[in-house]
Structure 1
Amino acid sequence: MQPPSDILDLVNEARARGEPFAIATVVRTVSVTAAKAGAKAIVLADGSISAGWIGGGCAKSAVLRAAHEAIRDGQPRLVSIQPEDLLDVKQVKPGELKDGIFYARNMCPSQGTMDVFVEPVLPRPHLVILGASPVAVALADIARRMDFFITLCAPTADRPALGVVDRIVDGFDLPAGVAAGDFIVIATQGRGDSAALKAVLGATARYIGFVGSMKKFAALRRDFEASGLVAAAMDDIRSPAGLDLGSITPDEIALSIVAEMIEVRRRGQRHA
């Protein structure tokens, strides 16, 4: 078993790579168990253990299943692996959630009990902003406070009021590595609308929004169709971007967009 300090070093390395994973920590054991309280393991999204140890097959399958689900929905879990007779006493079935605890059956001859806390560690959501308009600047500021990783794409001459962002791209080309789970907002507001829209056509992202009126967006679509571009990809772009809060100022518009992105990001993660 690796020392806890080594595990923490590996956790920091995994964070730096931006990959999702979960930390499984044994928090309590009763009777005979292979792993003891304090044992840790790093579980990757594919269900493999990249480092550490939390016991043998008696506990491993339940913990890996819980880690996979935690990475998927972003929620931590407490898993209690117990022999069947103790589950019967508690009147719970394997796989059942009761009082915030997921129960699993320990099939090993040792018949011990092990409680494991599974905590997902997810990378910061990535927001790509095209443009350096007042709304773009406000959006970068608010989204960064919501822990988004911010990439801003805009010509150098258009960035005098730029605040703090994580990465800058000169022009409207999307950075390499934009993934299906990322967020894209076109906030050019008249300075490069067409070029920015062309850059995102065909991009695969969780959210693509356009800051502007439906009338402007429709006019841009007509221009694209007239020039022979396939504009069907514009069907997936939210225009105008943001929840309908009656926003008027750049800060209000940016807030409505961040609120909509959070709604999209957290959809399905909250439990009733």
Structure 2
Amino acid sequence: MMGATELLDLAAQLKAREESFVLATVVRTVSVTAAKAGAKAIIRSDGTIVAGWIGGGCARGAVLKAAREALADGIPRMISVQPDNLLAELGVRPGETREGVRFAANMCPSQGTMDVFVEPVLPHPSLVIFGASPVALSLAAQARPLGYHVTLAAPAADLVATPEVDVCVDGFALEQLAGGARFIVVSTQGKGDEVALRAALSCDATYLAFVGSRRKMDSLRDKLIKDGIDAALLDRVKAPAGLDLGAITPEEIAMSILAEITLTRRRGQRG
């Protein structure tokens, strides 16, 4: 069985590869249980336990279910697996959550109790920027300190210097993108607007925005619809990009876009 050090090394490797997984840790046991406090397991997004041990089938189902949910919403969970008689004494039913703890029934003969902390480890959010405009470059510079994996796609000839990004693509054709939540901003501002917008529309994204006026976007929309692009796809594009903060400079416009992305990314999490 993999030791704790090796297990944490594997977790670090998965995190470095921008792979989603859950780290499940047994934090408390009462009576007879297969795993003891401190036991850990790494669970991939497909529900596979790739390393570690958190006990047998008595707790596995509840933990795997919580792991899938945690990977979907990014929120850690505490799972308490207890025999039915103890759940009845607490006045809770299997599947019920109380004060941040979700309860599950232990149907095994051991009748032990096990509390497991389920922590999702997700890839950095991905920001894909099309264009080498001042707004695009400022957006890239401001996003990296906030933890975004930044990809900038623009013709190399348009760049006066090498931008400080995670991935720099020559042109607008993207072959592979980082996983995790993805936010896309087209900030070509007159240099390849249509080509960049077509490329952006081909990518899955939580947020897709165009830096430019509503009128300019309407003109591009009409042309792309005539060329066979689905109108519903174009309706996903937010134009102009960013919150209306009265921004004027490229840095302020970039800040307004990041504010809007933050609003989209964090919606519902504080509750």
| Same fold flag (TM > 0.5) | yes
| Residue aligning to 2:218 | 218
Unaligned runs of 5+ in 2: none
2:106 pairs with 1:99: no
Q: 1:176 to 1:224 in 2, by over 3 A?
A: same
Is the partner of 2:235 in helix, strand or coil?
helix
Q: Pick which of 101-110 and 262-271 moved more.
A: 262-271
| Residue aligning to 2:3 | 3
Whether the 8 Å CA contact 1:180–1:206 is kept in 2: the answer is no
Whether the 8 Å CA contact 2:123–2:179 is kept in 1: the answer is no
| Residue aligning to 1:248 | 248
Matches of 2:49 and 2:160, distance apart in 1: 47
Matches of 1:268 and 1:45, distance apart in 2: 22
Q: Pick which of 126-135 and 254-263 moved more.
A: 254-263
**How far does residue 224 in structure 1 lie from its aligned partner after superposition?**
4.0
| Residue aligning to 1:199 | 199
| Residues 237-262 of structure 1 deviation map (CA, whole Å, 9 limit, x = unaligned) | 11111222232222222122112222
Whether the 8 Å CA contact 1:31–1:113 is kept in 2: the answer is yes
Matches of 2:268 and 2:45, distance apart in 1: 18
- Write the mapping of 1:113-132 to structure 2, written as runs, cut at 5 A: 113-132=113-132
Quick one: which amino acid aligns to residue 198 of structure 1? R
Whether the 8 Å CA contact 1:132–1:162 is kept in 2: the answer is no
Matches of 1:40 and 1:104, distance apart in 2: 19
Q: 1:222 to 1:95 in 2, by over 3 A?
A: closer
Is the partner of 2:92 in helix, strand or coil?
coil
2:17 pairs with 1:17: yes
| Residue aligning to 1:230 | 229
Q: How many residues align?
A: 270
Matches of 2:261 and 2:10, distance apart in 1: 31
**How far does residue 88 in structure 1 lie from its aligned partner after superposition?**
1.8
Quick one: which amino acid aligns to residue 150 of structure 1? V
**How far does residue 153 in structure 1 lie from its aligned partner after superposition?**
0.7
The TM-score normalised by the length of structure 2 is 0.92
Matches of 1:201 and 1:164, distance apart in 2: 25
| Residue aligning to 1:40 | 40
| Residues 131-153 of structure 1 deviation map (CA, whole Å, 9 limit, x = unaligned) | 11111111112221221110101
Whether the 8 Å CA contact 1:178–1:205 is kept in 2: the answer is no
Is the partner of 1:139 in helix, strand or coil?
helix
Q: 1:201 to 1:2 in 2, by over 3 A?
A: closer
Matches of 1:248 and 1:267, distance apart in 2: 26
**How far does residue 221 in structure 1 lie from its aligned partner after superposition?**
2.9
Matches of 2:90 and 2:180, distance apart in 1: 43
Is the partner of 1:236 in helix, strand or coil?
coil
Is the partner of 1:168 in helix, strand or coil?
strand
Q: Pick which of 247-256 and 126-135 moved more.
A: 247-256
Matches of 2:172 and 2:57, distance apart in 1: 51
Quick one: which amino acid aligns to residue 124 of structure 2? R
Identity fraction in percent: 57
